[in-house]
Amino acid sequence: MSDVVDQLTGLGFCTSREQIEALLSHAITSRLSPVQVVEQLAEIERRQREARNLASRTRRATIGKHTTMDRFDWSHPRKINRALCENILALGFASRCENVLFRGPSGVGKTMLAQNTCTAALAAGMTVCFTNVAAALADLLKQESLPAVERRLTRYTNVDLLVCDELGYVPVDTRAVDLFFQIISRRHEKASTIISTNLPFKEWGAVFPGAGCLVPLIDRFTEHLHIVDIEGDSYRQKHSGTSPPDAPARPTSSRFARVGRRPSKRGAS
């Protein structure tokens, strides 16, 4: 029996020695036919490979710890389209290479919804990358050569679902927005992108000051877009027992006021 296990391992089987030995012992005791043994061995190996594949994709996705949707308090926000959120979680938008925008103030569940969408995508066999916008752009800017930047860009452009979290919290320079444009442009109509933000489109110019590519960036992102606007007080502040601090004044840039066109809202399915 040990020789058989060694041969299967040498062929690249992922199933552990203990599982194979247990299956072979069961086959002998139950007098299974050769076809039944092969069928059961193939099924165990398939499950092992799927589990390893999921674990590998989950590590690369970098979603982080998060609260699952069964604990989401739908009654907390003053405004949220629950039906649209549930359709997004069902991933219909991803099969059509459409985009999603979760928009609202801090603490209303934008990141949680994005993370749970990522988890659903992983379970469906998709490749995923979850990243903070500022962190992703800093990652690209630290590359030491153009070929290195191109190689690193594939982390964000070649996945089935990309989530860019917290756009609007940290301003970025012109070089960074050019890279962000490359990500959105290369993914346009090829794969889905989710962005979470606290800003309307007309205020994105304050995050990307002086960026000439901001208008085409927004144009590409909004062409096939589902918008989830969430209104409410911070859930974290509510349960911490403290009052939320006064919101800082948002910087504005009249130069980019023209990018605030309102895309048509579409229902996901």
**CATH code of residue 160:** 3.40.50.300
The DSSP result for 158-211, as a single string, is SSSEEEEEEETSS---HHHHHHHHHHHHHHTTTSEEEEEESS-GGGHHHHSTT-
Q: In this prediction, what percent of the chain has a pLDDT beyond 70?
A: 87
Q: Do residue 71 and residue 102 come from a single domain?
A: yes
pLDDT mean over 149-173: 94
pLDDT mean over 32-44: 92
pLDDT-derived band of residue 255, with 50, 70 and 90 as boundaries?
very low
The domain boundary, picked from 11, 43, 60, lies at 60
For 229, the 3-state DSSP assignment is strand
Mean pLDDT, the chain, rounded, equals 87
Q: Is 152 among the domain residues?
A: yes
Q: Do residue 73 and residue 192 come from a single domain?
A: yes
Q: Is 23 among the domain residues?
A: yes
The whole-model pTM stands at 0.80
201 has pLDDT over 70:
yes
Domain that holds residue 249: 64-259
Output the pLDDT for position 252: 44
Q: Is 33 among the domain residues?
A: yes
1 has pLDDT over 90:
no
Q: Do residue 167 and residue 34 come from a single domain?
A: no
Number of domains in the chain: 2
Q: Is 205 among the domain residues?
A: yes
Q: In this prediction, what percent of the chain has a pLDDT beyond 90?
A: 67
Q: Do residue 21 and residue 84 come from a single domain?
A: no
Q: Do residue 154 and residue 248 come from a single domain?
A: yes
Q: How far apart are CA 27 and CA 5, in angstroms?
A: 14
120 has pLDDT over 90:
yes
Output the pLDDT for position 241: 56
Q: Do residue 112 and residue 236 come from a single domain?
A: yes
Token representation of residue 208: 């990307």
Q: Do residue 68 and residue 186 come from a single domain?
A: yes
6 has pLDDT over 90:
no
Phi-psi region of 33 (alpha: psi -120 to 50; beta: other; left: phi over 0): beta
Output the pLDDT for position 171: 81
Q: Is 265 among the domain residues?
A: no
